[in-house]
Amino acid sequence: MVRKPTSKETARKPNMREAILAAAEELFATNGFNAVSVRDIAQAAGANPGSVTYHFKTKDGLLLEIYRRHCGPMNLRRSELLAAAKRVRDLQDRLEAVVRAYVAPAFTSGSDLAGGGARFTRLRAVMSAEGNEVARKIIAQTFDDTSHAFIDAIHDSLPHVPRTDIVWRSHFLLGALYYSLVTPDRVSRLSRGEADGSDAASAIEQLVQASVAAFQAPALDQAAPARRRPVVSSKT
Amino acid sequence: MVRKPTSKETARKPNMREAILAAAEELFATNGFNAVSVRDIAQAAGANPGSVTYHFKTKDGLLLEIYRRHCGPMNLRRSELLAAAKRVRDLQDRLEAVVRAYVAPAFTSGSDLAGGGARFTRLRAVMSAEGNEVARKIIAQTFDDTSHAFIDAIHDSLPHVPRTDIVWRSHFLLGALYYSLVTPDRVSRLSRGEADGSDAASAIEQLVQASVAAFQAPALDQAAPARRRPVVSSKT
DNA sequence: ATGTGATTTGTACTATCGTACAAAAGATCA
DNA sequence: TGATCTTTTGTACGATAGTACAAATCACAT
């Protein structure tokens, strides 16, 4: 808010503002918005509750700033990756490259803003599930452009599949991605320890392969007529 | 809690207990657990806040009871549908039938307990995203059996795909299913009105077709060697 | 009708919430 | 050093949270 670049404004001290943002991001992403109090965040950041009010005015303002900080670099990075993927000549390779460009940045760890990062992606998943108003507004006006770009790119690789189907499948992809970040332990549990749901590389490969196959599925209108639809009835 | 079947215990009056359960289910499913107060629930049910305490003791107890009421009938119904699906002889038809048996009950509307229903499924999605403790315990001890049964059934139809891959893909399926129930409007928006994300029939068909294709994807270990992995780099 | 147990109501208690604000502390430059 | 600005601290306030509980009300068997 306050503009005053006195001398070295870069990280004057341990930089409380950043610590608060990081702590809030982590707590919101794992517990949801309402389950976390401003005091929880302050404590996790080693700050005073009043500091949060000072830097971000309100709790909503804090969430807003988390989104703001990520969206720019993340969308930039994504459009770079998408542009590179679209340059792949082979149609099938291109599809996979595009899907990978969509999936991979969501799993990056650490604090690199550019990637978007697993933490911020998980935050978005949780906010979306909670129907958070602040998040809803930002998402509609910031992420839809990127989503459309990816949908178009995928549609270019699969011209025979109607755009509507692509939209549905990309929606499923995002849901799968979100869920993988939200409950990775479930994968470990259901595979009886044979798979590690927390392993980003595995998650990316599995998700890319499964999604590519899903995108390549025949169009819905054409799927049915050739084969009879199996009808199932229980004996209730 | 209290056992006393005096005369007609079935719906003596408007039945407050049921109204509270229904209201809580709806509110929790759309706003999350912590965003909804006991007073909100009481008001939505046309009840007094004290009534909630009387019937369910605590807010956690209320959530617990919501789960309890659904889990039994829902798992029963699911195993019926699964058993019927496993009777399909053709291998590919059986796969689709099994997936459909998994997906369809999650989208049933109305208040039929058996189906599980869209509302309860959405509730589970939101609780899962919020990392709700009450839900986490119930899920691990109630849903994992059903999940394993479905995973095994799918694996039977796809013996050449490692179980680990099936687990991942079924995880993606559940994530996609959850997300479709949480933000159906996103589908409508991204398709520019061409698709209706709230239409259960469309969602089911799209999800079944996409998931079947995903399950049928080649095993991960075998996917790479035959084809070169497209490597993409941005110019950053 | 009356007594009895099951509900519903109204209210109150304590804890914690988000936020405000004055004072203290720290930093920067004349 | 002293003036000025930014940041941190400590505390407090009103609102609302979950829950408890006594009183009122209801349903029904006798």
- Is strand D in 7 Å reach of the CB of B12? yes
CA distances (Å), origin B95, targets A219, B52, B59, B127, B190: 18, 44, 41, 29, 30
Tell me the pLDDT tens digit for each residue of B63-89: 999 999 999 898 899 999 999 999 999
DSSP string, A9-62: -S--SS-HHHHHHHHHHHHHHHH-STTS-HHHHHHHHT--HHHHHHHHSSHHHH
* pLDDT tens figures, A164-207: 999 999 999 999 999 999 999 999 999 999 999 999 999 999 99
Question: Phi/psi zone of residue A93: left (φ > 0), alpha (ψ -120 to 50 degrees), beta?
Answer: alpha
Mean pLDDT, rounded, for A198-221: 96
CB–CB contact A172 B172 (8 Å)? yes
pLDDT in tens, B135-171: 999 998 899 999 999 999 999 999 999 999 999 999 9
- Distance CA(B154)–CA(B98), nearest Å, equals 7
A111-156: pLDDT as tens digits: 666 556 899 999 999 999 999 999 999 998 899 999 999 999 999 9
> What pTM, to 2 d.p., does this model score?
0.91
pLDDT exceeds cutoff 50 at B36: yes
Distance A74 CA to D3 C1' (A): 43
Test the B interface: residue of A28, A124, A154, A186 with most B CBs within 10 Å: A186
B19: closest CA of chain A, how far (Å): 23
**Nucleotides on strand C lying under 7 Å from protein C-beta:** 5-12, 16-22, 26-29
Output the pLDDT for position B4. 35
Q: C1' nearest to CA of A14: which nucleotide?
A: D7
How far is the C-alpha of A32 from the C-alpha of B32, rounded, in Å?
8
What's the pLDDT tens digit per position in B39-61? 999 999 999 999 999 999 999 99
pLDDT for A69: 93
User: What CA–CA distance (Å, rounded) separates A73 from A78?
Assistant: 9
Whether residue A107 has pLDDT greater than 80: yes
CA angle B188, B192, B193 (to 5 degrees): 55
Instruction: Return the CA Rg of chain A.
Output: 21
Which pLDDT score, from 0 to 100, does residue A220 have? 87
pLDDT in tens, A8-35: 333 334 789 999 999 999 999 999 999 9
Q: How far is the CA of B65 from the C1' of C3 (A)?
A: 33
**Token pair recorded at residue B16:** 């407050």
B220 has pLDDT over 80: yes
DSSP B219: P
- Mean pLDDT is lowest, of B4-18, B127-141, B150-164, B190-204, for B4-18
**Residue B127 above 90 pLDDT?**
yes
The band of A96, judged by pLDDT with boundaries at 50, 70 and 90, is: very high
